[in-house]
Amino acid sequence: MGLEMSVTDREALQLAKSLLDNPGLAAKITNYLGAPIEKGLELLPASWNKSVSTVTQAALLKASDAAIFTLQDTPFTAPSNRWHKLSVAVSGGVGGFFGLSAVAVELPLSTSIMLRSIADIARSEGESISDAETQMACLEVFALGGDSRADDGAETGYFAVRASLARSVTEAAEYLTRKGLSDTAAPLLVKLISKIAERFGVQVTQKAAAQAIPALGAAGGAIVNTLFIDHFQDMARGHFIVRRLEGIYGAESVQELYLTL
């Protein structure tokens, strides 16, 4: 029989579940702006769906550059969420000023800042950010809280998404342990990022749709980007709480309790 989870850790798992099961990005944007995201989706150019995969993969590859993980490897250090939100808001403001055409330029920058914030949150939950598995778990966050175009309804839950990425995450982590994160052209990393981009692309489309709404402008772009990073900070917090508890109690025990909360 496994170790019984403490009251404190059980409360932490409940928090993680509430974060990971919260409404998606589109709902958050709609609630804040007061306009259905569908209006913005109608304004996206016909070529958007063809280009979003390329744009999101390029953004994730650029963000996965070793320079993003320049944080000191000091587990349980409090994260700087506000600083990262401010940085992303500024980049969103610039993107909003220039409109939808700036997404391809702005997205790699905002994604890089968000990945650094995700790594910061991972560190706060005791992860070693120099570890390749942790680095891949940080990238994995971009697949959380958003459906894939190929989803059948059974693959949208937190553990289902992790299970669908598990093999690619493991293979990429093992490769990068040998070669180092600087090898961003590694086929196994590209394979993982391609899978993550399927889900991340849906949320990028929702962000772009919000920015396509007329008169949103620079201020609106900053707001949308703040909601964007806030969403992924929530996903990261929940994800790394679960991983921390898995390290103590075992993955199977944590998943069983999570599903009953």
| Mean of pLDDT values over 172-197 | 79
H-run or E-run covering 34? none
| Mean of pLDDT values over 232-252 | 96
Structure tokens belonging to residue 145:
């809280």
| Mean of pLDDT values over 14-20 | 95
Q: In this prediction, what percent of the chain has a pLDDT beyond 70?
A: 78
Q: Could you read off the pLDDT of 125-135 as tens digits, one per residue?
A: 999 988 889 98
List the one residue out of 48, 46, 63, 93 whose CA is nearest residue 232.
Answer: 63
Task: Return mean pLDDT, the chain.
Answer: 81
**Predicted TM-score (pTM) of this structure:** 0.86
- Cα(234)–Cα(217) distance, integer angstroms: 26
List the one residue out of 51, 32, 61 whose CA is nearest residue 101.
Answer: 51
- Which residue is associated with the tokens 């969103």? 92
pLDDT at 12: 97
Q: What amino acid is encoded at 233 in this protein?
A: Q
Among the residue ranges 80-89, 104-113, 242-251, the one predicted with the least confidence is: 80-89
- Cα(84)–Cα(26) distance, integer angstroms: 21
Q: Could you read off the pLDDT of 24-38 as tens digits, one per residue?
A: 888 888 887 776 778
Domain ranges of the chain: 7-260
Binning pLDDT at 50, 70 and 90, where does residue 146 land? low
